[in-house]
Amino acid sequence: MNANTRLDVIAFEQRPLTQPQRDTLETCSLEQLRDVQLRRLRWSLKHAWRNVPWYRQQFEAMGLHPEQFQQLEDLARFPFIGNAELHHHYPFSLFAVSPRQVVRLQACHDGSARSPLIGYTRNDQEVWATLVARSLRVAGAHAGDRLYALGSLDGASAGLQLGAERLHCALIPLAAREAYEQVRLLCDFQPQILVASPAQLLALAPELERQGVSLPGLSLRTVLLGPQPCSTSLRHELERRLGVQTLALYGVSALMDPGIGMECLESGDGITLWEDHFYPEIIDPDSGTPLPDGQFGEVVLTTLSREALPMIRYRTGEIGRLLPGTSHSMRRLERLAGPEAKPLRQSA
């Protein structure tokens, strides 16, 4: 792909983060954010149409062309993509760049024999590092902090490594399968930030209690919960048993995991979506009709700056709703977990 086809608006300022600080788009107004989204969506639609035959065929079958996208509401006219398409076009048919431009490949593990591949160009990887660093920073991470990912996070560990380095933090490169080994590593390295799934924490808590180990006593400040959604009641139970605050870390393995959103330490009121790189929609799972903010439905995400593997209206299969932003102009995502999501998820 010619570098000139990439809009200047996708470039963003890089600066060393010796101290936590916000980047320009984090502090922009809602009007400025919508303008950025509009321009980036135009680029992403054109990029997919020009470089991915499947997208061009789908657009033309619906009588659509990227030039018909004039306002954000027009995105609802364009087709969805889902895991079935990722499997059908395995491994590289949906890539929008030549193989020589791809610097990282990751499997999107879904239990199948041939897991879809996710590719990153150098620019994609820079975006990933920036968004994970942003996520860690709003979660309270500081330069010099140590992070420990509990157990194996597969591809997520690569994003955590990139983001931690960008923020001048250290990701502890060790994993343990058994709870007693995890407690030993926590005692040895005393991280300030722990990254874990709700299930991993539930398995860890009894071992901490058995050994009489206090996480706050180890200087641990925060636990980042992901990738599965966690109910409010379970979060309260985990915080009570562990004695530390939990924050939701958001990613989608087929798009970027982590790095799509993060619950902010200062507000603690749900995941803030990084809407400058991912445009969210909520749709009726049955009809595909877009739903207004505040209503629950299936979460759909469109990449705004992805070069290697652009995703236009990717159906995540997750159930949630969009809420107004609080600490940022970007909106928040409330995800349903467990039995609450079951009726809608069956439809999705």
- pLDDT for 39-89, tens place per residue? 999 999 999 999 999 999 999 999 999 999 999 999 999 999 999 999 999
In a domain, 10, yes or no: no
- pLDDT for 274-286, tens place per residue? 999 999 999 999 9
The pTM score is 0.91
In a domain, 20, yes or no: no
Across the range 256-279, mean pLDDT stands at 96
Q: Is the pLDDT of residue 4 over 50?
A: no
- pLDDT for 101-118, tens place per residue? 999 999 987 767 788 999
In a domain, 7, yes or no: no
Are the C-beta atoms of 53 and 61 separated by less than 8 Å? no
In a domain, 2, yes or no: no
Total domains present in the chain: 1
Q: Is the pLDDT of residue 151 over 80?
A: no
In a domain, 18, yes or no: no
In a domain, 15, yes or no: no
Q: Is the pLDDT of residue 16 over 60?
A: no
- pLDDT for 294-330, tens place per residue? 999 999 999 999 999 999 999 999 999 999 999 889 9
CATH number of the CATH domain containing 82: 3.40.50.12780
Range of the domain at 113: 28-347
Q: Is the pLDDT of residue 190 over 60?
A: yes
Binned at pLDDT 50, 70 and 90, residue 153 comes out as: low
In a domain, 215, yes or no: yes
Q: Is the pLDDT of residue 122 over 90?
A: yes
In a domain, 16, yes or no: no
- pLDDT for 204-241, tens place per residue? 999 999 999 999 999 999 999 988 899 999 999 999 99
